[in-house]
Structure 1
Amino acid sequence: MTSRKIEVLSPRLANQIAAGEVVERPASVVKELIENCLDAGATRIDIDIEQGGVKLIRVRDNGRGIGKDDLPLALARHATSKVYSLDELEALNSLGFRGEALASVASVSRLTLTSKPAAQDTAWQVSAQGRDMAVDLTPAAHTDGTSVEVRDLFFNTPARRKFLRTEKTEFNHLEEVVKRQALARFDVGFSLSHNGRTIHALRPAATPAEQQRRIAQLLNPDFMNNALVIETERAGLTMTGWVGLPTFSRSSADMQYFFVNGRVVRDKVIAHAVKQAYRDVLYNGRHACFVLYLELDNAAVDVNVHPTKHEVRFRDQRLVHDFLFSQLHRALAEYRPDGQSLTADSTIEAMPPKATGLAAGEFSGQSSLSMNEAPTAQFANAAGSHSIAQTANGYAQQSSGVTEQLAAYQQLVTPADQPQTQSDIPPLGFAVAQLHGVYILSQSEHGLIMVDMHAAHERITYERMKQQYDQQAVQAQPLLVPLSLSLSEREADVAEQFAELLLSFGLVVDRIAPETVSIRQVPVFLQQSNAAELVRSVLADFVEHETSDAILAHRNEILSTMACHGSVRANRQLTVPEMNALLRDMERTERSGQCNHGRPTWTQLTMKDLDKLFLRGR
């Protein structure tokens, strides 16, 4: 290859190269223009789109505007009003600042910029064609604020235009940009139209109710019905927003919005912290939903690490990660069926409930009722094998008052575990029946509660075992007669190699032959389980992870496996006191709304739902 002389790029080519960094598609243009509007103090932004943004993008605001003398500079490279020094760059508090966004857009489109500051009598307009970047300055008619009109995007770079998708796809990307900005700035009104049709018309949202209404309009009304409110502050970090309950999850990460100092960001530290917080309650392959806002000192975050400013870099990543994880983890853990949870330095509240049938997530706090208003007719063992007559007789024979129910329950729990008052209907109500040996049916203040008894007991056992393990005190019970178990030689090797680790999980397993072990002790919570199957499952996990460090890193998975073996199985008939004891345990246990695998443990049908099923009131 022959050597070529080094030459300075022409302004047009330099702008087109810069455009490749910040103008990927129409959505990229809209993002840059909206950020400029917000930096100008706009409280109203109107976006008009034609043909997915390829034919026309028009963004108009009521901000401070640009003076006549500054208009030509607005389309010049490396010209900005937002950063004058390195100190300002390192503590940036504006959204757009790179200095070449408008110049880049103008280099690949036909751009017109019209603006009028309030102190200026007349509006002025500049326009530029992509070919020569020559700027024409003319008077124009315009109210206070600025309008940017971008036509024929990539008209002079056909290779770039070929990479654009269909009109619908490009508009979907563009609409997502508007959604994110509308979620970032509740104080600003937004409107979006496409091909003359209004898509969004959002007024400024000042109150919490108005903000929740905007989120429901932009995302999904069900999100607000299944969300916890987060308000927490620590070590100079403040986090507010909404996180979806684990029972309200998505197959993709399309309902995850995180904002740092008002800027929409995607960050690996944030993503990992949130994923870890949901790890113990989310079903495999599902994604959490959240709208969260993190505020911190501008100097503690670097936003100039990516051309599009989607990514940030925290100066103390560990602090941010631990703060996010601990606060979200605690919020999810402390949420109870009564729908309220308060901590010393944070407030976590459930949104007001709205019944959505069997798919409803959680429900609100229960108000007090007098004793004689509580359910008085209870029955159990109403499995499918019972005849109608047997069920009716069982109902009559087992009818009892709430006082008797609580007396029976008191025999199953310690005094410290008892409810503080006995005059209230508990959040999960009182058991009235067991269905096919699988589900507990309970009458609550608001209607019918259905509980998957195995899933619920599995979570309760799992949480207790985790707590004991963390305290290095897994309560164990020696077997009256040691149990001999045949294994593969590899499994027996693992049992011998990791005997001390097995002991930390409450298991004592001795090797007595090349392919035989003796089980001498199991955790108290699991004494009713099949000890042989329990040990086989735990050893299988040990074999998979191979090293002690890997085993400890996956200790929750191993404890979850053990808890599954120790939980009540399907088709086991429970008495009414046993069912009520399980309901009370659920109300006291962290994360009891989901089993160890992320499935919901209970749901409800309100009286309104039941009336609808039977067409009552029509």
Structure 2
Amino acid sequence: MNRINILDDLTINKIAAGEVVERPSSVVKELIENSIDAGSTKVVIDIQDGGKKLIRITDNGCGIASSEVDKSFLRHATSKIKNIDDLYDLYSLGFRGEALASISAVSKLEMVTKTKDEPIGTKVIVEGGKVVSKEPVGTHNGTTIIIKDIFFNTPARQKFLKSTHAETINISDLINKLAIGNPHVQFKYVNNNKSMLTTPGDNKLLSVIRSIYGKEICENLIEINHECKYFKISGYIGNNNIYRSNKNLQHIYINKRFVKSKIVLDAISEAYKGIIPINKHSICFIQLTINPASIDVNIHPTKLEVKFENEKEMYIELRDILRKTLLSVSLIGKYETYDKKEETKNILVKENSNQSKNIYENKEFEDIKVIEKNYERPIDSFMSFNDIIKSENNTE
């Protein structure tokens, strides 16, 4: 018979890290969420080699007191909750106290932190879950965490990391999502010493969207703001001029947490039926504020999924609100005129049987198309089908 073994803390932490830390972007996510929970208004993210070589997160949050630093690396040590009842009144992004313990177990970690009440900060170095050194150091208020050589002591995990390019894209996408979900925070993102993104941090969602996705998207967004029995919704949804072949630009946040919810995604898809082409997906940036007691965010290690208490009612209400908002505005194809100078390079004119078609190509968003029909007749003078038949009969 096999004996039952009690695993040591290091092995336990490495196993837990496998659930929380899947790849470099997982580390970035956990650390940025900690910075946001700490009340930061500025967060700087610096990565090298797709985060495999270096991840540095610096914030101006509340910091960690020197007497609390050691506890911060213990499993299930958290400042977000005190007991199980706090899960039903949860507005923070983190709460399980596994991030630092899991990350430090599979990397070489250095943390420098200081609270506003202490005259001097604390620097601690942790390798493979063991504290190597701890000393006082002069620094600004807030926290800086440096992660080097992720999975250096778990080679089986390290070999499953993707290419530098793939990991960088994953981190970039994550930072975009966190920035849009927190417009009050200024994000600065640096990749291999090259500035990739700086958001204004002016608490205006449209400003963040523009800094990430540009003017084209912003000009085709409809503001949404509504409150019902089950939730409050705010943000922006795309009109029928913009859409994609995937759901990458469907940003859904519940209590400021980016989530993937089938209920919400299905409601969005149903609301856009007949408004955008089949097999295309809308663009949206929506924030749902829901009573924490009505949702469960603790069903997945990465907290990406949520469970609702009233799923059917949520679906119907959200679908109807989105549909009503879309139909309350003028959903007409976007018409633009172009001079025969620089703009002509974006227009392809084909002449066939004395007819011309203008095909507008957006190079930055190749899969976003504007499908237009060019009628000279005013829109309010369209004839019915019966009128068209009568007109043709009279002509004959």
**Structure-to-structure mapping, 1:106-125, within 5 angstroms:** 106-125=104-123
Runs of 5+ consecutive residues of structure 1 not aligned to the other structure: 340-352, 359-383, 387-437, 444-448, 462-524, 529-566, 576-618
Alignment of 1:156 onto 2:91: no
Alignment of 1:226 onto 2:220: yes
Q: 1:354 deviation in Å?
A: 9.7
Structure 2 CA distance for partners of 1:195 and 1:89, relative to 1, 3 Å = same
What is aligned with 1:183?
A: 180
Structure 2 CA distance for partners of 1:34 and 1:439, relative to 1, 3 Å = closer
Q: Contact conserved, 2:240 with 2:331, CA < 8 A, in 1? A: no
What is aligned with 2:350?
A: none
What is aligned with 2:368?
A: none
SS at structure 2 position matched to 1:134:
strand
Q: Deviations over 1:104-133 (max 9, x none)?
A: 111110011111000011100121111x62
Whole-angstrom CA distance in 2 between matches of 1:573 and 1:135 = 89
What is aligned with 1:60?
A: 58
Q: Contact conserved, 2:230 with 2:314, CA < 8 A, in 1? A: no
Q: Contact conserved, 2:239 with 2:331, CA < 8 A, in 1? A: no
Structure 2 CA distance for partners of 1:440 and 1:113, relative to 1, 3 Å = same
Q: 1:236 deviation in Å?
A: 4.7
Q: 1:90 deviation in Å?
A: 2.2
Runs of 4+ in 1 over 3 A off after TM superposition: 353-358, 572-575
Aligned partner letter, 2:45: I
Q: 1:75 deviation in Å?
A: 0.8
Whole-angstrom CA distance in 2 between matches of 1:250 and 1:10 = 49
Alignment of 1:238 onto 2:232: yes
Alignment of 1:192 onto 2:186: no
Q: 1:334 deviation in Å?
A: 2.3
Q: 1:177 deviation in Å?
A: 1.0
**Structure-to-structure mapping, 1:87-166, within 5 angstroms:** 87-130=85-128, 133-166=130-163
Q: Contact conserved, 1:54 with 1:151, CA < 8 A, in 2? A: yes
Whole-angstrom CA distance in 2 between matches of 1:574 and 1:249 = 40
Structure 2 CA distance for partners of 1:137 and 1:275, relative to 1, 3 Å = same
Whole-angstrom CA distance in 2 between matches of 1:236 and 1:281 = 26
Q: 1:89 deviation in Å?
A: 1.6
- Structure 1 length normalisation: TM-score? 0.55
Q: Contact conserved, 1:123 with 1:141, CA < 8 A, in 2? A: yes
What is aligned with 2:294?
A: 300
Q: Contact conserved, 2:297 with 2:307, CA < 8 A, in 1? A: yes
What is aligned with 1:11?
A: 9
Q: Contact conserved, 2:200 with 2:207, CA < 8 A, in 1? A: no
Q: Percent identity?
A: 34
SS at structure 2 position matched to 1:38:
helix
Whole-angstrom CA distance in 1 between matches of 2:6 and 2:89 = 32
Whole-angstrom CA distance in 2 between matches of 1:108 and 1:233 = 44
Aligned partner letter, 2:137: A
Q: 1:337 deviation in Å?
A: 5.5
**Structure-to-structure mapping, 1:440-519, within 5 angstroms:** 440-442=375-377
What is aligned with 2:346?
A: none
What is aligned with 1:333?
A: 327
What is aligned with 1:265?
A: 259
Structure 2 CA distance for partners of 1:568 and 1:171, relative to 1, 3 Å = farther
Alignment of 1:47 onto 2:40: no
**Structure-to-structure mapping, 1:235-384, within 5 angstroms:** 235-336=229-330, 355=336
What is aligned with 1:204?
A: 201
SS at structure 2 position matched to 1:30:
helix
Q: Of 79, 84, 108, which aligns to 2:77?
A: 79
Aligned partner letter, 1:81: S
Aligned partner letter, 2:55: I
Q: 1:79 deviation in Å?
A: 0.8
Whole-angstrom CA distance in 1 between matches of 2:78 and 2:170 = 27
Structure 2 CA distance for partners of 1:76 and 1:385, relative to 1, 3 Å = closer
**Structure-to-structure mapping, 1:515-534, within 5 angstroms:** none
Aligned partner letter, 2:190: S
Structure 2 CA distance for partners of 1:216 and 1:335, relative to 1, 3 Å = same
SS at structure 2 position matched to 1:440:
coil
Alignment of 1:23 onto 2:17: no
Aligned partner letter, 1:243: I
SS at structure 1 position matched to 2:123:
strand
Q: Contact conserved, 2:252 with 2:286, CA < 8 A, in 1? A: yes
Q: Deviations over 1:282-314 (max 9, x none)?
A: 212111110001112121111111110111111
Q: Contact conserved, 1:303 with 1:313, CA < 8 A, in 2? A: yes
Q: Deviations over 1:438-464 (max 9, x none)?
A: 852157xxxxx8x9x9xx88xxx8xxx
Structure 2 CA distance for partners of 1:336 and 1:10, relative to 1, 3 Å = same
Q: Deviations over 1:384-442 (max 9, x none)?
A: 799xxxxxxxxxxxxxxxxxxxxxxxxxxxxxxxxxxxxxxxxxxxxxxxxxxx85215
What is aligned with 1:496?
A: none
Q: Contact conserved, 2:124 with 2:131, CA < 8 A, in 1? A: no
What is aligned with 2:210?
A: 216
Q: 1:179 deviation in Å?
A: 0.7
Q: Deviations over 1:235-286 (max 9, x none)?
A: 1521111111123111111111011111101011111111111122221211
Aligned partner letter, 1:158: P
Whole-angstrom CA distance in 1 between matches of 2:88 and 2:182 = 23
RMSD: 2.8
Q: Contact conserved, 1:124 with 1:138, CA < 8 A, in 2? A: yes
Q: From the CA coordinates, give the structure whose radius of gyration is larger.
A: 1
Structure 2 CA distance for partners of 1:337 and 1:17, relative to 1, 3 Å = closer
What is aligned with 1:70?
A: 68
What is aligned with 1:493?
A: none
Aligned partner letter, 2:49: Q
Q: 1:234 deviation in Å?
A: 1.2
Higher relative contact order (CA 8 A, sep 6+): 2
SS at structure 1 position matched to 2:305:
coil
Structure 2 CA distance for partners of 1:356 and 1:102, relative to 1, 3 Å = farther
SS at structure 2 position matched to 1:21:
helix
Q: Contact conserved, 2:24 with 2:50, CA < 8 A, in 1? A: yes
Whole-angstrom CA distance in 2 between matches of 1:49 and 1:249 = 31
Structure 2 CA distance for partners of 1:574 and 1:164, relative to 1, 3 Å = farther
Q: Contact conserved, 1:255 with 1:290, CA < 8 A, in 2? A: yes
**Structure-to-structure mapping, 1:524-603, within 5 angstroms:** none
